[in-house]
Amino acid sequence: MVAKNHMSTSLDVIELTRHLVAMDTINPPGNEQQCCDYLASLLEDAGFEVELSEFAAGRSSLVARLGGRGEGLPICLTGHVDTVPLGTEGWSCDPFGGEISDNKIFGRGTTDMKGGVAAMVVAAIRLAQDLSNTPGVVLVLTGGEETGCDGAKALCETPEILGRAGAVVVGEPTSNQPLIGHKGALWLNAVSQGVTAHGSTPELGVNAVYEACRAVAKVEDFGFNIPPHDIMGAPSINVGRIQGGININSVPDHAEFDIDIRTIPSQDHREIRTHLEAYLGDKVTLEPSVDVDGVISDASDPWIGEVFDVIEPILGLKPEIATAKYFTDASVLSPQYGNPPTIVLGPGDADMAHKTDEYCEIDKLHQSVNIYEAIIKRWCRLD
């Protein structure tokens, strides 16, 4: 049983964001349980039916639903509560302090994406009294997203907890602009093996670092040989980490590097891996660490049009058809829900995600609450 919380339905999005940011959920190790317990308490108090799903020790995701008695399926609002590490550069503020300055709230996760989670929760709680006899809302708040949608994947193994949904809104950072999808991600760990020897006699060994470096140079020139997607553009490839050797005066017998590939809908991840393995040669082996498909909704889908219509007066401009370059939990959740129309929309600034001195604009947080409320009202026909 989740402990009760005494915060009321007048919950403030800024204070809730600060409270979530104060909880260290850096992944790894995650420790998302604390966030999920707290949010579960708030949502239970507001009348939501809440289930917590533990996928590792101290790590949970949360599913909260209200309504579902009207015609049609509920709308899913989803976000994650884990964050990336702080990085090696020093912060000028407390990364868990939620400090406020110049219309910004600072801290790890403000943009990516505890601010978005807070806004979704606040919007859902504000409308809780009106949801009973409507298709309803399901909030899916996950752990483990940053390392490959781990919490969402675990939820998909328990479909009775995840339930059903007719549309999905992902609160990742978009500066409140609606995006109709995102690229897929294929992360590969490349390993080269050598033969160790004394550093003074390198001719007696095989230098694994040299093998890795030759492969890295080839990665930079790798071409996908496909036309760009009309909306998503071209796929991308990047080497994000390289490591090899244990001491200066030995020939290293092991080296490895990580390849980050972002894909478009026409690509098959297995084929990419096969082609890349052949291209790099037999001196390097490849193993996937993250393999998630992209998401793309039909721009002419009626619900996509409704979302654009209801948020246009809030934004003060007509949204453009666009997609995100990063991946989200929709890679896993949308297929599980039968690939309903999906929109990525959240208050954070994507350019601030994972950065030192991360922040989210306060005005965007308040605006996102209004946007989520408007989307829920339209779906549940509460206007």
* pLDDT score, position 298: 97
Give the helix ranges, DSSP H, for the chain: 13-21, 33-45, 115-126, 150-156, 159-162, 208-220, 269-280, 302-315, 330-336, 362-380
Q: Which two tokens stand for residue 217?
A: 């140079």
pLDDT at 68: 86
Q: What per-residue confidence (pLDDT) applies to 115?
A: 98
One-letter-per-residue 3-state SS of 255-270: EEEEEEEEECCCCCHH
Q: Which residues pair with 359 in a beta bridge?
A: 106
Q: Which residues, other chains included, contact 41 with Cβ-Cβ below 8 Å and sequence gap of 6+?
A: 2, 3, 4, 5
Q: Is the dihedral of CA 224, 353, 168, 311 positive or negative?
A: negative
- Which residue type occupies 352? M
Per residue in 225-281, pLDDT (tens digit) is 999 999 999 999 999 999 999 999 999 999 999 999 999 999 999 999 999 999 999
Specify the pLDDT at position 5: 42
Entry pTM: 0.94
| pLDDT the model gives residue 2 | 38
pLDDT value at residue 8 = 46
Which stretches in the chain have pLDDT values below 70?
Answer: 1-9
CB proximity list for 225: less than 8 A, separation 6 or greater: none
Q: Where are the alpha helices (DSSP H) in 141-281?
A: 150-156, 159-162, 208-220, 269-280
Each residue's pLDDT tens digit, 205-237: 999 999 999 999 999 999 999 999 999 999 999
Q: Which residue segments constitute the domains of the chain, with CATH numbers given?
A: 13-182+294-380 (3.40.630.10), 184-292 (3.30.70.360)
